[in-house]
Structure 1
Amino acid sequence: MRVVTAAEMREIDRQAIQEYGIPGIVLMENAGLQVIRIIQRIFPQVADKVFTILVGKGNNGGDGLVIARHLYNLGAQVKVLLMADPEEFQGDAKVNLTVWQRMGQPVYQVNQVNGINIVKVALLNTDLVIDALYGTGFRGTVNEKVARVINLVNTSPVAVLAVDIPSGLEADTGKAQGPCMKAEHTVTFGLPKLGLVLEPGASIAGTLHVVDISLPKDLIENKNISRQLLTRQLISQWFKPRKQDSHKGSYGHVFIVAGSRNMSGAARMTARGALRSGAGLVTLGVPKSIQPLVAATLDEAMTSGLPETEAGTLAVTAVEPVLEACAAANVLALGPGLSTHPETVEFVRNLLTRLTIPVVLDADALNALAGDTAVLEGLQVPVIMTPHPGEMARLVGLTSPEVQERRLELASAAGKKWQSVVLLKGAKTIIASPAGEIGINPTGNPGMSTGGSGDVLTGLITGLLAQGFTPFQAAAAGAYLHGSAGDLAAQELSQASTLAGDIVNYLSAAFKEIES
């Protein structure tokens, strides 16, 4: 599903109206009807409910007036609160205001001196507030009167449904520069807006419902829009049924180079993620002193002991045996738990220049490149990089907060500069390809912020890549399935007690959802 900026959505609306001939008031009517359908899911019996609708003077307010009319016709009690004088309404919004008034229904002007008291009284007896104040064209901060209304609603116990986007939220950034309506549900039209799928906007919007308002399919599926929200439908298209005569060699051979004396767990979690990915064969290469330990805890994977330093980390002499192992594998995963021992850093950098198979770089493989990423620009193999914000900060010379402020921009720029697929972890993980394709992952939860979770993701992505997924598909599908497994684990076990091993264990259920 494509993700759009406010300008891109305006252009789609313009083309639908001017080039396809769909009247704007028809789109407004369809938008209102779709919101009604969502409300009926929330309240199966609408007739005995009370709704307060906050209406602005623009098209978003027009949508709210359509909603008011249909709720009234369904037998609900509806209070329409205007944030502008009726004379200020224009176009389709004016038409719908006129219809509402000709139905003999009152409007209350909240923009007047005693307007805040009207809101206070309305909230005393309301089942749902419908926010139709500002649409996707909003920028900056709301005015003082609107701010008072928003703050009053946010501090009340009444749930909020936002029409298209919560008022006060910027559609392109997902940021609120001032007071912003906090919604339990947001019903957005045609396509999700960027600010609704990036944090903090995604949390502000609550449950996001993307609804069809009869925009032409060609406009909605415009491939010139490079951003996509990852969905189960999209991910499932990349999985092919397994042939009856297939064997373990049909699904790729993953070689993982990971671990050190004090971080054998990272190596094991990466291997477990790869095994659960469906890869046919998984071999784990670790410092030779910990090889017996990891072999004893991984029944399904093969293991290999590699030359090590006195500190129990990989030695630079491990390059040759790793290259020999890569000759029998399809994909390499490099980095989890390696440490930043100087000789291990040298090993990583030397190995990368000689690789002939695709590689997934994570953790200490990324740390080995901090301050000097030039080696990436000369690689002749596909590369997937999976940094968390701290690792990304070290790679690009910024702080973690600066990375978090510019997640989409930095991931996209890094993918193009390093000619790699860059997966920037975090809430709403971003996947960026060298060609400019962007994936935004909606799955996952704070319970996945636990040691080993990223190692599982690395193994999962590597396993998918070994099975023939493109680098972008492997990273995107891996992120989606990893987050979905985390969500399933949290539902059963709680967020607080979810462990990385639980994510591995729930990957089977996540795959089953994709298959179904």
Structure 2
Amino acid sequence: MKLCTTLQIRSIDRRSIEYYGLSGYELMETAGCRVAETAKQLLESVAGKTVAVVCGKGNNGGDGFVAARYLHLWGASVTCHVLADRPALPVDAAKHLERLEEAGLVPDFRPDGPLELPDRPPALIVDALLGTGLKGPPRDPYAAAIAVINLSPSPVLSVDTPSGVAPGCGSPQSRPRAEWTCVRADHTLAIGLMKVDLATLPGRSWCGALEVADIGFPEAALEAEGLYLSMPERSEMAGLIPVHRPGDHKGSRGKVAVVAGSAGMAGAATLASRAALRGGAGMVMLGAPAGLMDALTARHTEVMLRGLPETAEGSISLAAESHIDALLSWADVLAIGPGLTRHEETSALVRRVVSNSERPVVIDADGVNAFTGHPDGMAGSAPEVIMTPHVFELSRLTGMDADDIEADRVVAARQAAGSLQVTLVLKGAASLVASPDGLVSVNPTGNPGMATAGSGDVLTGLIAALLGQGLGAWDAARLGVYLHGLAGDLGAEAMGPHSLVAGDLIDHLPGAFLRTGEGRISS
């Protein structure tokens, strides 16, 4: 699914009108009709149902006028509340207001408020107050109207975006400023294209169920915009799952080398290795400090083990380089970083291994930290590099302030992937995958229960397994993040989000593969 920014949707709208023969009036008619159709689906039948349509002074309000007209003509008992003066309305919205009045519905104009909904809660409230591009907290009368909507027990359908949602608005659970109020929608209908602010937090937390209304933008207008944002859908991810053919053997299904672990961090190595196997790799070999071998041998039955020279502190030493080179001569892909520590010697080893690798590499955790202060260390490195930092690791790596990264994760991930020339996975709620050439994918799966130690180690092993089975870096990262989040969702369904641990994600990976693509076994 293609996503867009607020500026991009405005450009597409303008281009469709100026170059492709559509009018703003026609686009508004189509958008409002789609809103009314969605309301009809939500209510199952609109005849005799009460619907309150709350409109602002912009084009969003114009969509509301059209929706109100259709619902009125279909037999609903509609009240239309306008928090604007008639002269303040845009031309197209004013024309649709006239058509609404010609249909026999008289709106309630209250430019200064307050919004007064019917005494008996309506079957549905249509929120057409404020659209996208809001620069700050809503002001009265809109803020007061949003509060009235939120106090109503009626379900809410928001047009294009829940009113008030914008970067910086915070989530319903964690608000940065008490005066910033947003509509808590039960259903949001994005007009034309999905907006990235709705696909990512905090916007996503206000939307309820989310869908997109096609209003007929010409394909050429979309292509001319150069849309670089997307959100994977299940059908697309199903097509990426590696096909297992009857003639396959363990050596043909991907050989993954994992370099991980240190004293006290054997669990990270275990999680990454197990996830690589559950991700479909035919063979996994774990290189870890020699001092961990007894503990790891007791844990692993399917993973092959290679003890590596270690420092006095129990991390992997520079003397392990030749051992890792031998691993890489056997492997199809390398996963490096989980639980390594930031020991200076170990970090130097990581940089040397990555720069000399002729295999694709997945770099996580302390593997990412090893390049702090050495961003040029990846120049001329492995043929494909995937880095999987969380926000603080990315901050250390790039020098960007962590708060600035969180303020616009898309921009931060895109810039970092381009400057480092890697495929970058910025982990977190709605994890992002950014390509070196500027594409960004917003992941739709996952839940707060996955915020637990070791979750990232599982992702590292899973992505490495997909790389080893022949996917390119972009597809392996997107599919890995999608399946990882879905495994977390299945775990939360089974046991609730509060008790999830990283090992549960591995246990639910088979279900995630099945839910996504039914295994894709070819004859």
TM-score by structure 2 length?
Answer: 0.92
Q: Does 1:83 align with 2:83?
A: yes
2-structure distance, mates of 1:288, 1:90: 72
- 1:298 positional shift: 2.5
Matching residue of 1:466: 468
Q: Is the 8 A contact 1:184 1:207 kept in 2?
A: yes
Matching residue of 1:492: 494
Matching residue of 1:167: 163
1-structure distance, mates of 2:88, 2:315: 71
Count of matched residue pairs: 510
> Aligned AA for 2:2?
R
Aligned residue among 199, 203, 218 for 1:197: 199
Q: Does 1:504 align with 2:477?
A: no
1:204-236 Cα deviation digits (max 9, x unpaired): 223221121222334446682111122223323
Return 468-477 or 506-515, whichever deviates more: 506-515
Matching residue of 2:265: 263
Matching residue of 1:134: 130
- 1:410 positional shift: 1.7
2-structure distance, mates of 1:103, 1:400: 54
Matching residue of 2:69: 69
1-structure distance, mates of 2:132, 2:477: 30
- 1:54 positional shift: 0.9
- 1:246 positional shift: 2.2
Q: Is the 8 A contact 1:191 1:220 kept in 2?
A: no
> Aligned AA for 1:38?
T
- 1:305 positional shift: 1.3
1-structure distance, mates of 2:398, 2:475: 25
Q: What percent identity do the matched residue pairs reach? A: 40
2-structure distance, mates of 1:298, 1:48: 65
Cα gap change, 1:22 to 1:174, in 2 (>3 Å):
farther
- 1:396 positional shift: 2.0
Matching residue of 2:149: 153
Cα gap change, 1:123 to 1:374, in 2 (>3 Å):
farther
Matching residue of 2:174: none
Q: Is the 8 A contact 1:123 1:158 kept in 2?
A: no
Aligned residue among 387, 390, 397 for 2:389: 387
> Aligned AA for 1:96?
H
Map residues 407-422 of structure 1 onto 2, 5 A cutoff: 407-422=409-424
> Aligned AA for 2:157?
L
- 1:192 positional shift: 0.8
Matching residue of 1:2: 2
Q: SS state of the match for residue 428, structure 1?
A: coil
Q: Is the 8 A contact 2:8 2:225 kept in 1?
A: no
- 1:287 positional shift: 1.2
For structure 1, which runs of at least 5 residues remain unmatched after alignment? Answer: none
Matching residue of 2:286: 284
Return 424-433 or 175-184, whichever deviates more: 175-184
> Aligned AA for 2:129?
L
Matching residue of 2:52: 52
> Aligned AA for 2:63?
D
1-structure distance, mates of 2:15, 2:409: 31
2-structure distance, mates of 1:36, 1:504: 43
Q: Is the 8 A contact 1:174 1:195 kept in 2?
A: no
Return 432-441 or 34-43, whichever deviates more: 34-43
> Aligned AA for 1:149?
A
Q: Is the 8 A contact 1:284 1:302 kept in 2?
A: yes
- 1:137 positional shift: 4.3
2-structure distance, mates of 1:317, 1:338: 15
Q: Is the 8 A contact 2:55 2:129 kept in 1?
A: yes
Matching residue of 1:362: 364
- 1:53 positional shift: 1.0
1-structure distance, mates of 2:387, 2:289: 23
> Aligned AA for 2:99?
V
Q: Is the 8 A contact 2:289 2:316 kept in 1?
A: yes
1-structure distance, mates of 2:161, 2:98: 24
Return 397-406 or 4-13, whichever deviates more: 397-406
Matching residue of 2:173: none
1:95-121 Cα deviation digits (max 9, x unpaired): 221122122222112224xx31xx344
Matching residue of 1:452: 454
Cα gap change, 1:94 to 1:120, in 2 (>3 Å):
closer
1:452-507 Cα deviation digits (max 9, x unpaired): 11111001111111111111111111111111111121122111111211111221
TM-score by structure 1 length?
Answer: 0.93
Matching residue of 1:249: 251
Return 400-409 or 194-203, whichever deviates more: 400-409
2-structure distance, mates of 1:230, 1:484: 12
Map residues 332-343 of structure 1 onto 2, 5 A cutoff: 332-343=334-345
2-structure distance, mates of 1:27, 1:174: 29
- 1:90 positional shift: 4.0
- 1:174 positional shift: 6.9
- 1:240 positional shift: 5.0
Q: SS state of the match for residue 385, structure 1?
A: strand
Cα gap change, 1:329 to 1:240, in 2 (>3 Å):
closer
Q: SS state of the match for residue 129, structure 1?
A: strand
For structure 2, which runs of at least 5 residues remain unmatched after alignment? Answer: 171-176, 519-523
Q: Is the 8 A contact 2:54 2:129 kept in 1?
A: yes
Q: Is the 8 A contact 2:242 2:469 kept in 1?
A: no
Q: Does 1:427 align with 2:429?
A: yes
1-structure distance, mates of 2:222, 2:500: 38
1:19-43 Cα deviation digits (max 9, x unpaired): 3323433332322232233323432
- 1:16 positional shift: 3.0
* Aligned-residue CA RMSD (Å): 2.2
> Aligned AA for 1:72?
H
Cα gap change, 1:278 to 1:165, in 2 (>3 Å):
same
1-structure distance, mates of 2:194, 2:288: 44
> Aligned AA for 1:166?
P
Return 288-297 or 413-422, whichever deviates more: 288-297
Q: SS state of the match for residue 454, structure 1?
A: helix
Cα gap change, 1:7 to 1:353, in 2 (>3 Å):
closer
- 1:355 positional shift: 1.8
> Aligned AA for 1:405?
A
Matching residue of 2:96: 96
1-structure distance, mates of 2:304, 2:3: 42
Q: Is the 8 A contact 2:435 2:474 kept in 1?
A: yes
2-structure distance, mates of 1:164, 1:406: 21
1-structure distance, mates of 2:225, 2:243: 27
Cα gap change, 1:238 to 1:121, in 2 (>3 Å):
closer
- 1:420 positional shift: 0.7
Cα gap change, 1:17 to 1:397, in 2 (>3 Å):
closer
Q: SS state of the match for residue 3, structure 2?
A: coil
Return 186-195 or 83-92, whichever deviates more: 83-92
- 1:325 positional shift: 0.8
